[in-house]
Amino acid sequence: MYSQQAKKNTIIYLFILLWVIAVPAIAYISSLDAKLSIVLFAGVIGLALATVTAANFRLGYYIYIVISFSIHLPERMAKATIPVGVVMDSFLLLVLAGAIFTKQRENEKSNIEYYKDPLLLVLYFYTAYLLIQCFNPNMFSISGWFIFIRVYIRNFIFLFLTFRVISGWNEIYKFFKFWLALTTAAALYGCLQQATGLLPFEKAYIAMDPDKFRTVVLQGRPRIFSFMADPAAFGVLMACSSIICMVLLTAKQQLISFPKKVLLLFMIIVHLLALGFSGTRTAYVMLPVGLLLFFLVNLHNRNTLIAAGVFTFTMLAILFGPFYSSPTIIRFRTAFMGSQDESLNLRDVNRHSIQPWIYAHPIGGGVMTAGADGETYNPGHRLAGFQPDSGYLRSALELGWIGLILVCIYTYMGIHYAIKNYFKEEYELNKLLLISIAAVMFAILVAQYAQEAAGLVESSIFLNAILGITIKVKYNLSKSK
């Protein structure tokens, strides 16, 4: 016991000593080079977070999510490219190491059937299929394959870490509180960007890259991205969190008190404003699609019927009301009136034109061969420069129709598990959280048709987190086993 306490004290003393040395060092270097001081300060903060992560993997799990979401902010401030993937991989490995080292001390038993569960078996088969893609003869280079596999393994590890972090319903409550607090902070920052305009360092950063500038600036107005990677990721997450808040708002007052419902209503307003400012049309569609699933399974609930009526009236007012001066409302309408939008029609033409090629290549052209990735890693490839504008189309192009079938089975089974958990659960709050997970999964599944919604860094983290919760609930937390 004494040795363990002495070890903890030693770590604390070293940590304090590090900060005592770092403060004057940063002050001195700041007087010499401002950019270098930012890098050094970020390094010190990163080292401190890494120490905490290694000591407490559950806390590190949440730190990893925050870092993944906000790492682009210091990148913009420094006006330099930061190896985001390396930073994320390093922290995730620290979380994994902490989880492995603490597993021996914790006597937690999991009933998850890792080698029998149908969804996990599909995941393993899909993983093997991706590994075999290394030998795809249609690829010109395997350099892109290594990048893709590294990102995939990162998501794979995160999914299984969720099994370890989520030990009970209290952990699930904690996760959703954390998630809504994080996305609310992002939404507030996004609304601030809309109200005051992008900050000078943000304008300078997007101006450095012509492709990023064309993505962010639309018709002379910037699409809001908060502290996240881009407007698309920001919009998708705003839609997901809006769905969760709206579902929770329908709870009985005995379950969620009136002050908490006022807070939820405030969060809904902030998230919806941020969603509109993002200019992400796919995210606009996600909102009614996700809520539609929730409404269908809760038509017997009076609060649900009231919420459905209010939501329907609001949607009709926005779509057909006499509002013609707001660019946000105009772009929102184009998401539901695609036939009047030339860019959406062009995407449909491109999809039909590439279908014969898909039929002739059952294993696809290889990962990272389509779109801008293809131009970077497989220049000269038939798919290089061809923009899929769809997660499913990218799977069909790069992995073939065999890979597309695996992706569809995997996504379907995830939603099936979530809905099945909902009908098994008895406690109302748990049921609301489970149906919100199902609604978000369904919204992302539909969004994949128009955009690579599930492939974005931020959305893939959230999707793997709620999928991990879904599997954990099925085996360990369901009351009807």
Which of 136-140, 284-288, 342-346, 451-455 is least confident?
342-346
Specify the pLDDT at position 480: 44
Residues 256 and 229 reside in one and the same domain: yes
Average pLDDT estimate for 462-479: 85
Whether pTM exceeds 0.75: yes
Of the three residues 103, 127, 158, the one that is the final residue of a domain is: 103
Is the model's pLDDT at 205 over the cut of 50? yes
Last residue of a domain, one of 103, 132, 151: 103
Token readout for 282 is 């796919």
158/149 Cα distance (integer angstroms): 14
Q: How is residue 400 written in tokens?
A: 């073939």
- pLDDT grade for 219, boundaries at 50, 70 and 90: low
Tokens standing for residue 37: 């001081």
Q: Give the tens place of pLDDT for each residue, 345-363.
A: 666 677 778 888 888 888 9
237-254 pLDDT tens trace:
999 999 999 999 888 888
Domains of the chain: total: 2
Residue 280, Ramachandran bin (φ over 0: left; ψ between -120 and 50: alpha; else beta):
beta
Q: Specify if 1 maps to a domain.
A: no
Helix (H) or strand (E) holding 318: helix 302-320
Q: Is residue 237 part of a domain?
A: yes
Residue 374 covered by a domain: no
Helix (H, G, I), strand (E, B) or coil at 213: helix
Out of 157-166, 373-382, 453-462, the most confident range is 157-166
Pair 60, 190 in one domain: no
The range of the structural domain enclosing residue 51 comes to 16-103
Tell me if 328 is assigned to some domain.
yes
- Over the stretch 40-51, which tens digit does the pLDDT of each residue have? 556 666 666 667
**Same domain, yes or no, for 275 and 245?**
yes
pLDDT of res. 172: 93
Same domain as 314, residue 393: yes
Q: Residues 82, 163: one domain?
A: no
User: 180 pLDDT exceeds 60?
Assistant: yes
pLDDT-derived band of residue 284, with 50, 70 and 90 as boundaries? confident
Domain end call among 103, 132, 152: 103
469 and 338 part of one domain: yes
Q: pLDDT: is 4 or 457 the higher one?
A: 457
Per-residue confidence band for 39, with pLDDT thresholds at 50, 70 and 90 = low
Residue 150 and residue 56 share a domain:
no
**Residue 243 within a domain:** yes
Across 153-163, average pLDDT: 91
Structural domain contains residue 366: no
Q: What count of Cα atoms within 13 Å lies in the side-chain half-sphere of residue 214?
A: 2
**Inter-residue contact 287 to 447 (CB < 8 Å):** no
Q: Are residues 159 and 58 in the same domain?
A: no
The mean per-residue pLDDT over the stretch 111-130 comes to 91
Which residues touch 79 (CB under 8 Å, ≥6 apart)? 35, 201, 204, 205, 208
Q: Are residues 250 and 185 in the same domain?
A: yes
Residue 8 located in a structural domain: no
Residues 419 and 436 in one domain: yes
Clarify whether residues 427 and 279 are in a common domain: yes
Of the ranges 61-75, 141-155, 200-214, 321-335, the best mean pLDDT one: 141-155
Greater model confidence, 238 or 34: 238
- Residue 372 within a domain: no
- For residues 238 and 256, state if they share a domain: yes
